[in-house]
Homo-oligomer: A and B are copies of this chain.
Amino acid sequence: MLGDIESWMIAPIAAVASVLTAVYFNRYIKRQEQGTDRMRFVAEAIKEGAKAFLNRMYRTLLIFVAAISILLLIFLPQPIWSSQTPLNNIKLTLAYLFGSFCSALAGYLGMDVATDANLRSANAARKGLAKSFQIAFRGGAVMGLSVVGLALLGVSIIYLLTGDASMITGFSFGASAMALFAKAGGGIYTKTADIGADLVGKVEMDLPEDDPRNPAVVADNVGDNVGDVAGMGADLFDSYVASLMATIVLGSVFGGQLKSLSLVFAGVGCFAAIIGALSVKVGETSDPGKILNRGTYLTCAIYASLTLISSYLLKYDYRIWGASTTGLLVGIVIGVTSDYFTSINRTPARKTAEASVTGTAINIITGYSYGLLSVFPPLIGIGLAALVSYNLCSSIGPEYGVYGVGAAAFGMLSIVGMVVTNDSFGPIGDNAKGIAEQSSLELEMIDILDKLDAAGNTSKAITKGFAIGAAGLTVISILAAFKEVAEEKLGTTIMFDLMDPLVLVGALIGLAIPAIFSAQVMLGVGKNAFKMIEEVRRQFREISGLREGREGVKPDYARCVDIATKGALRELMPASIVAITTTLLVGLVFGIKALGGYLSGAIFSGLVFALLMSNAGALWDNAKKYIEEGALGGKGSEAHKAAVVGDTVGDPFKDTAGPSLNTLITVMGLVANVFLPLFIAFSLM
C-alpha cells in the first residue's frame, strides 16, 4: 500500500522537524549571556550534581536492562529453542534496548538544556520579563520537542524496519521501564533534598527559600532537574509511545487505514506543538501563566483543525477524528477541574489554609479530604471519554469501539510536546529564581523570576490533568490491545467478567500494587530525608559562622548532594521490581483473565491515588503560599507553621508517588503485552 506508506511518513518527517526545532532553540539558549561568576558557580554545581546523578542512575539501571534483555532474547516472542524465527527474538531485544536508550536520552538532553536555561533566564531578568520568559520557555521547549521528536522517530524507525506492531511493544516497554525508574529515582531524590532543605533551613533556622547558607540548597535545585525535568520528560515519553503502540497494535489487528492512522495524527500533533511553541511570547506586562495556557489551547485548536483536514484528505472516517477530539476536550476539562482543586485562588486551598489556624492536624485532614473530592471529575471525564469515543467508533463497526478509546487517548496525548514544554518550564523558572537568590541578585530581578515560578505552577495544573487522564485512557487501550492479541493467539473470545473469580482475584491484587509502590517510594523518601535532616542539622551545629552567614563560610553542599544521590539509587529499584515481578507472577500463576482483572485493578487504584496525591500535594503547597502572601497571620504565624507541615507531607505525594503511578500502570500493561506469549505457554490456570 503505497498510499498508506506515503501518508504515515508524515510521522518521521514531523519528528525530525521537531528535533530540529529543539536544536534551534538549544542554540538560541547557548548564545545568551551567563551572568556573574557567582551565578555561573551555582549553576555549574547544579548541572554537575544533576549530571552525576543521572549518570549513576542510568549506570545502575544497566543491570536491570541487561537482565530483561537476556530474558527477552531467550523467551520472546517465542522461546528461542522452539522458535521458527529466532531473528525475532533479536529484533525484540534490540527494540527494547532502543526504547530504553531513547527514554534515557530524552531525560538527559532535557536536564542538560534545563541547567543551561536556568542560569541564562536568571541573568536575562536584568533585561526584563519578556527575555527571561523567552529563555525559560524555549528551554522547556527543547525538552518538549525532543521528547515528542525522539519518541515519534523511534516508533517510526521500528515500524519502518520491522513493520511489526509487536516490536513497537518492545520499544514501548523499554521506554516505560526506564521512565518508571527515572521517575521513582528522581522523585525520591528531589523530595529528600527538598524536605531536608525546608525542615531544617526554613522551619528550624528561619532561613528564606534558596538561601546559600542552607547546606541542602544545591541538592534541592539538582532535585528539580532530575525529578521534574528528566523524570517528567521520561514519563510523558512513555505515555506517548504507549498510546501510539496501543493504537498501532489494535490497528494492525483490525487492518486497513487503522494500521497507520495514529502515526499520521501523531505527526500532525508534532507540527501543532512546533507552531504552538513558536507562537508563545510575552510582553513586559503580560501574565505569563495565562500566556502558557493560551499556548496550550492554541496547540489543541491547531491539532483539531489539522487532523480534521487530514481526515478529509486521507478519507479517514470522521468518527475517529471525533473520538480523538473528544479525548482532547476531556483532557482540557480534567485540567481545568484539577486547577480548581489546587489553585491558590479557589475554595479548597483557601479552606485548607483557614484550617491551619486550628493546627496541623486539621490542615492535613482538610487538604486530604479535598484531594479525595478532586478524583471525581477526572474519573467521570475519563469514563465519559471512553464511553463516547467507544460508541462513536463502534457505529463504524463493532470492532472499532476499542480503537475509539485508543484514539481518545492519543487525542489527549497529541499535544504532548506542549505539555512537556510547560512542565519543564516550571523547574527552569524555579531554578532561575534559586540561582538569583543564591547569587544575591537585585530584588527587581528576583521579582521577575518569581513571576516565572508562579506561571510554572499555574500551567502545571492543566498539563498534569492531561498527563493523568491520558495515562488512564492509554492503559485502557493497552488492556484492549492485550485482549485482542490474546484472542488472536488463542482463537477464542476473552471476557474480563467481574463475576469471574479469576478476574476478581486479579483485580484485588492489582488494586494493591499502586498502593504498595507509593508506600515503598514514600518510605524511601522518609528514610533518606531523615539522613538529610541529620546532616543539615550537623552542618549548622559544627560549621561555625554558617548560620550567621559569616564572610567566606560555606556549607558542604556536596555532602548533601551525595546523600540524596545514594539514597535515591538505593530506593529506586525495589518498588519497580516488585510491580514488574507481581505482574509476571499473576500472569504465570493465574493466567490471562486474571491478568486482565489485575491490570484493571491497577488502573483503578492507580488513577485514584495519582489524582488524590497529586492534587492534595499541590493544594497543600498553595494553601501554604496563600498564607505566605500575608493571609491568616502570614509567614511565621502558627497557621504558617501548620501549613508548612502540610506542604511537606504533600511533597512526596505530589512529586514522588503521585506522578509515578501513571508510569507504573503503563509499565504493568506493557509487561503483560510483551510477556503474553509466555503466559499463554506456561500459565498454571
Interface, chain A (partner B; CB < 8 A): 195, 199, 203, 355, 358-362, 364-366, 368-373, 375-376, 379-380, 382-384, 386-387, 390-391, 401-402, 405, 476, 479-480, 483, 495-499, 501-509, 511-512, 515-516, 518-520, 522-523, 525-526, 529-530, 533, 596-597, 600-601, 604-605, 607-608, 612, 645, 648-649, 652
Are B600 and A515 neighbours in the complex by a CB distance under 8 Å? no
Whether the pair A645, B373 counts as a contact (CB closer than 8 A) is no
User: Can you name 7 extra interface pairs (CB under 8 A) apart from A203-B359, A376-B512, A383-B506?
Assistant: A365-B522, A369-B518, A369-B523, A372-B519, A383-B504, A405-B501, A508-B607
Alpha-carbon separation in the docked complex, A508 to B607 (Å): 9
Q: A496-B498, A515-B375 are in contact. Are A362 and B530 (CB under 8 A)?
A: yes
CB of B379 within 8 A of CB of A501, answer: no
CA distance A498 to B405 in the complex (A): 13
| CB–CB B649/A502 < 8 A | no
A-B contact pairs, 21 of them (CB 8 A): A199-B358, A358-B529, A361-B645, A361-B649, A366-B522, A366-B523, A370-B519, A375-B515, A376-B512, A383-B505, A383-B507, A383-B508, A387-B502, A387-B504, A405-B501, A476-B504, A479-B498, A498-B498, A499-B596, A511-B608, A515-B608
Q: What's the Cα separation between A389 and B505 when bound, in Å? A: 12
- State the CA gap A429–B504 with chains docked (Å): 40
Assembly CA distance A429 to B472 (angstroms): 48
List of B residues within 8 angstroms of A525 by Cβ: 365
Smallest CB gap from A371: residue in B: B519
The list of the 10 closest CB pairs from A to B, nearest first, reads A383-B505, A361-B648, A383-B508, A372-B519, A390-B501, A369-B519, A496-B498, A372-B515, A376-B512, A379-B508
Residues of B within 8 A of A508 (CB): 379-380, 382-383, 386, 604, 607
A523–B355 Cα distance when bound, in Å, is 10
Chain B: CB-nearest residue to A483 = B499
A608 to B511, CA, bound (A): 8
Residue among B483, B503, B604 making CB contact with A601, cutoff 8 Å: B604
Q: Indicate if the CB atoms of A516 and B372 lie closer than 8 Å.
A: yes
Closest CB of chain B to A632's CB: distance in Å? Answer: 13
A498 touches B366 (CB 8 A): no
Please determine whether A501 and B376 come into contact, CB atoms closer than 8 angstroms.
no
* Residues in chain B near residue A515, CB distance under 8 A: 372-373, 375-376, 608, 612
State whether B369 touches A526 (Cβ < 8 A): yes
Closest to A376 in B: B512
* Pairwise interchain contact A499-B530, C-beta atoms closer than 8 A: no
Q: Which residues of B contact A387 (CB under 8 A)?
A: 501-502, 504-505
Min C-beta distance of A531 to chain B, whole Å: 10
Which residues of B have CB within 8 Å of A405? 501
Question: How distant is A287 from chain B, measured CB to nearest CB, in Å?
Answer: 32
Residues of B contacting A355 in the complex (Cβ-Cβ under 8 angstroms): 526, 530
Closest to A199 in B: B359
CB distance from A488 to the nearest CB of B (A): 15
Determine whether the beta carbon of A604 is less than 8 Å from that of B511: yes
Complex-state Cα separation, A484 to B86, whole angstroms: 49
Chain B residues with Cβ below 8 Å from A652 are 365
CA distance A496 to B384 in the complex (A): 17
Task: Note all chain B residues with C-beta closer than 8 A to A612.
Answer: 515
* Residues in B whose Cβ lies below 8 Å from that of A361: 195, 199, 645, 648-649
* A656: nearest chain-B partner, CB-CB: B365
Report the separation of the CA atoms of residues A362 and B198 in the bound assembly, to the nearest whole angstrom: 13
Closest to A529 in B: B362
Q: Are B372 and A597 in contact (CB under 8 A)?
A: no
Q: How far is the CB of A601 from chain B (nearest CB, A)?
A: 7
Q: Distance (Å) between the CB of A599 and the closest chain B CB?
A: 9
Are A516 and B604 neighbours in the complex by a CB distance under 8 Å?
no
Contact of A498 among B365, B520, B597 (CB under 8 A): B597
User: Which residues of chain B are near A501, meaning CB under 8 Å?
Assistant: 386-387, 390-391, 401, 405
A2 CB, min distance to chain B CBs, angstroms = 35
> Which residue of the partner chain, among B359, B379, B496, B533, contacts A358 with CB atoms under 8 Å?
B533
Separation of A369 and B518 alpha carbons in the complex (Å): 7
Chain B: minimal CB distance from A297 (Å) = 26
Instruction: Give chain B nearest CB distance to A271 CB in angstroms.
Output: 31
**B-side contacts of A391, CB under 8 Å:** 501
Given known A508-B383, A511-B608, contact A372–B529 (CB-CB < 8 A): no
Chain B residues with CB under 8 Å of A533's CB are 358-359
**Contacting pair A519 B383 (CB below 8 A):** no
A529: B residues at CB distance < 8 A:
358, 362
